[in-house]
C-alpha cells in the first residue's frame, strides 16, 4: 500500500499478529531453587539446542526469544544477565545470591505455528510473565487465616515446646517476654527489643532447616528494614491490655502486616497465575533431619491450600473463578544424585504433598510430579572398590577445598531412603533419622563459556508440560 493509501489502490489488510500471555508462577520456599530455575529457563530458551523435549524447540519453531520491558514498570526487572554472568563464567562461576526483593520478567517467544490459523497467520508471539521473590515471603500466606492471638499462641507453643532444643535464641525471647509488661503503655524501645529478639529466634529456626518461619519479611525485609509494620512479635494473651499497650499496638501492626505485605503480594502477583511450578528442595529437608522434614511438609501443605481456595473467604473472593490450569511439582537439584536414584526422588513431592496434588487434581488442574536440575553441575561416576568388588554409583563435581581453591570431588550419597518410612519417622517426632544423618555436598557450577548451552536434568520436560501446549 502507498504511504497515504491512495483511493483505487488495492489495500493490503494488516492482520495483527496473534499474541498470548502466560503467567507462570515459580513458587518455592527459601533456597528451593527458584532464581536458578528462572535464569536457566531463560538461558535455555534463548539457546535451546539441548531442550529436545520441548517440542517447539525440537521442531525449530522457536524463532526468537527476547526479554521485554515489563508493562507498568514500577517493579524491578529480574536481573537475568547478572545471574547468568554469576553462574556461567570461565573463572569463578558461583550460584546467584538469595533473593532480597521481588522482580519481574517478561519473555517474548516468537513461535512459528504448525499450520496457519483461520486468518492465515503462521507466526505468533507468546509472552511469558514470571516473578521472582524471596522464598521467605511465601510462608506468610499461612498467616492470612490467623489473628494476632491465634498466631501468637501457635508461635509461643512452638518456642516453648520445640524451642530448638532450648537454644539460646528461644530462651532469650521467653526471658524478654517475662521482663516486659506488655499490658502497659507502648514503649518503642521495648517493642524494638522484642522484635529483634524474636527475629534472632526466627533466624536460628531457619538456619536449623525449618520452613515455617513467620513473618517471613522479618528475615527478608526488602526495603522495609526497621519499619513499624515489621516491629512486632508474638505475645501471651492480655485481657487487661490498655488501648495504647504493646499488646494492642502489636495486634494492630500484625493486621497491618497482613494487609500491606501479604494480601497485596498475593493479590498483585500470586493470584494471577495460569500455570505453576512448585519447587521443593527435598534433599535439604532430609539433610536437616526429621523435625525440619516434617516442618517442610506442613509448610508446603499449608501454602498449597492457599492456591486452591474453597475453605477461605478472602481467597475465594480474590480468585473470582480463576483457576491454575497446570501445576508441576518438582524436586530440585536432582544432579546431587546418580540417575538410578531419580525415580525415587520424583516420588518425594508426591509422597510429601499427596493431599495437595490430589486436591489440585480434584479442582481440575493437570498435575505432574518430577525431579529436575535447572543447572546440572555434576557428572555421573562409578567408583569401584577393587578389594570388595563393589561399584559405587555417585556423582562428581566441583567443591572448594580447605584452602578455598576448587577441586573435583566424588560423592556417593548412598541410596535414597524410602519416603513412607521417612514420613513415619518424622511424624513420630524422632530427633534423628534411624539410619543416621544424610548429607549431600553442595557442588558449585563449573567454569564454562557463555556460548555453551547449559546442562540440565529434565528442564525441557518440565517446560513442555507447563507451556508446551501453547507453543
Give residues in contact with ligand GTP (CB under 6 A).
Answer: 28, 30-36, 95-96, 98-99, 134-135, 332-333, 335-336, 373-375, 377, 442-443
Q: What are phi and psi of 404, to 5 degrees?
A: 90, -10
Q: Please give the DSSP secondary-structure letter assigned to residue 413.
A: -
33 contact choice in Mg ion, ligand GTP, none (CB below 5 to 8 Å, kind-dependent): ligand GTP
d(CA 68, CA 267): 23
d(CA 300, CA 318): 21
Q: How far apart are CB 203 and ligand GTP at their closest, in Å?
A: 13
Residue 209 CA from chain centroid, whole number: 15
d(CA 106, CA 284): 30
Q: How far apart are CB 440 and ligand GTP at their closest, in Å?
A: 9
Cis peptide bond prior to 215, omega within 30° of 0? yes
468 contact choice in ligand GTP, Mg ion, none (CB below 5 to 8 Å, kind-dependent): none
x-marked contacts with Mg ion along 440-469 as a string, rule CB under 5 A: ------------------------------
357 contact choice in ligand GTP, Mg ion, none (CB below 5 to 8 Å, kind-dependent): none
Q: How far apart are CB 361 and Mg ion at their closest, in Å?
A: 28
126 contact choice in Mg ion, ligand GTP, none (CB below 5 to 8 Å, kind-dependent): none
Number of residues that bind Mg ion (CB under 5 A): 3
How much helix, strand and coil, in percent to the nearest 5, is found in the chain? 40, 20, 40
Q: How far apart are CB 83 and ligand GTP at their closest, in Å?
A: 9
Contact status: 35 vs Mg ion (CB under 5 A): yes
Q: Please give the DSSP secondary-structure letter assigned to residue 33.
A: S
Cell numbers 500455570: residue: 275
Cβ-closest residue to ligand GTP? 135
Q: What are phi and psi of 275, to 5 degrees?
A: -130, 150
Q: Of residues 39, 99, 152, 332, which one binds Mg ion by CB under 5 A?
A: 99
d(CA 184, CA 242): 7
Q: Is 94 helix (H, G, I), strand (E, B) or coil?
A: coil
197 contact choice in ligand GTP, Mg ion, none (CB below 5 to 8 Å, kind-dependent): none
Query: Which CB atom, from 61 or from 83, has the smaller least distance to Mg ion?
Result: 83
Dihedral over alpha carbons 302, 305, 306, 312 (to 10 degrees): -110
Scan residues 192-231 and list those touching Mg ion (CB under 5 A): none
Query: Which CB atom, from 31 or from 258, has the smaller least distance to ligand GTP?
Result: 31
> What does the binding site for Mg ion look like in residue numbers (CB under 5 A)?
34-35, 99
Amino acid at each position: 500500500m502507498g504511504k497515504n493509501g491512495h483511493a483505487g489502490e488495492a489495500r493490503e489488510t494488516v492482520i495483527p499478529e496473534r499474541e498470548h500471555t502466560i503467567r507462570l508462577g515459580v513458587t518455592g520456599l527459601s533456597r528451593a531453587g527458584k532464581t536458578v530455575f528462572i535464569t536457566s529457563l531463560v538461558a535455555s530458551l534463548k539457546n535451546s539446542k539441548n531442550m529436545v523435549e520441548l517440542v517447539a524447540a525440537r521442531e525449530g519453531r522457536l524463532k526468537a526469544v527476547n526479554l521485554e520491558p515489563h508493562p507498568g514498570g514500577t517493579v524491578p526487572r529480574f536481573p537475568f544477565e547478572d545471574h547468568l554472568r554469576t553462574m556461567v563464567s570461565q573463572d569463578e562461576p558461583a550460584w546467584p545470591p538469595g533473593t532480597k526483593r521481588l522482580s519481574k520478567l517478561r519473555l517474548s517467544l516468537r513461535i512459528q505455528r504448525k499450520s496457519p490459523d483461520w486468518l492465515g497467520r503462521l507466526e505468533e508471539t507468546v509472552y511469558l510473565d514470571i516473578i521472582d521473590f524471596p522464598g521467605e515471603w511465601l510462608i506468610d500466606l499461612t498467616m492470612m487465616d490467623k489473628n494476632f492471638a491465634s498466631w501468637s499462641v501457635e508461635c509461643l507453643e512452638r518456642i516453648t515446646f520445640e524451642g530448638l532444643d532450648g537454644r539460646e535464641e528461644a530462651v532469650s525471647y521467653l526471658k524478654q517476654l517475662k521482663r516486659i509488661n506488655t499490658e502497659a503503655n507502648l514503649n518503642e524501645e521495648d517493642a524494638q527489643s522484642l522484635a529483634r529478639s524474636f527475629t534472632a529466634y526466627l533466624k536460628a529456626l531457619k538456619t536449623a532447616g525449618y520452613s515455617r518461619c513467620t513473618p517471613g519479611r522479618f528475615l527478608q525485609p526488602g526495603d522495609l528494614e526497621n519499619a513499624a509494620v515489621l516491629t512486632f512479635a508474638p505475645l501471651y494473651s492480655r485481657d487487661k491490655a490498655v488501648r495504647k499497650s504493646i499488646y494492642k499496638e502489636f495486634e494492630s501492626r500484625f493486621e497491618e502486616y497482613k494487609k500491606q505485605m501479604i494480601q497485596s503480594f498475593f493479590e498483585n502477583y500470586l493470584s494471577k497465575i495460569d500455570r505453576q511450578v512448585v519447587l521443593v528442595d527435598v534433599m535439604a529437608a532430609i539433610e536437616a533431619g526429621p523435625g525440619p522434614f516434617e516442618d517442610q511438609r506442613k509448610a508446603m501443605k499449608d501454602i498449597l491450600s492457599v492456591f486452591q481456595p474453597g475453605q477461605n473467604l478472602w481467597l475465594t473472593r480474590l480468585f473470582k473463578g480463576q483457576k491454575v490450569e497446570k501445576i508441576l511439582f518438582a524436586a530440585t537439584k536432582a544432579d546431587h544424585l546418580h540417575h538410578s536414584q531419580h525415580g525415587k526422588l520424583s516420588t518425594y513431592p508426591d509422597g510429601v504433598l499427596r493431599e495437595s496434588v490430589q486436591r489440585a487434581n480434584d479442582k481440575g488442574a493437570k498435575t505432574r510430579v518430577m525431579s529436575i536440575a535447572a543447572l546440572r553441575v555434576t557428572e555421573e561416576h562409578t567408583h569401584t572398590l577393587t578389594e570388595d568388588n563393589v561399584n559405587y554409583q555417585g556423582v562428581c563435581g566441583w567443591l572448594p577445598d580447605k584452602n578455598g581453591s576448587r577441586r573435583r570431588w566424588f560423592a556417593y550419597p548412598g541410596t535414597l531412603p524410602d519416603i513412607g518410612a521417612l514420613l513415619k519417622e518424622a511424624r513420630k517426632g524422632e530427633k534423628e533419622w534411624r539410619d543416621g544423618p544424610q548429607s549431600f555436598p553442595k557442588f558449585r557450577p563449573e567454569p564454562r563459556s557463555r556460548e555453551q548451552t547449559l546442562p540440565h536434568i529434565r528442564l525441557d520436560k518440565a517446560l513442555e508440560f507447563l507451556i508446551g501446549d501453547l507453543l
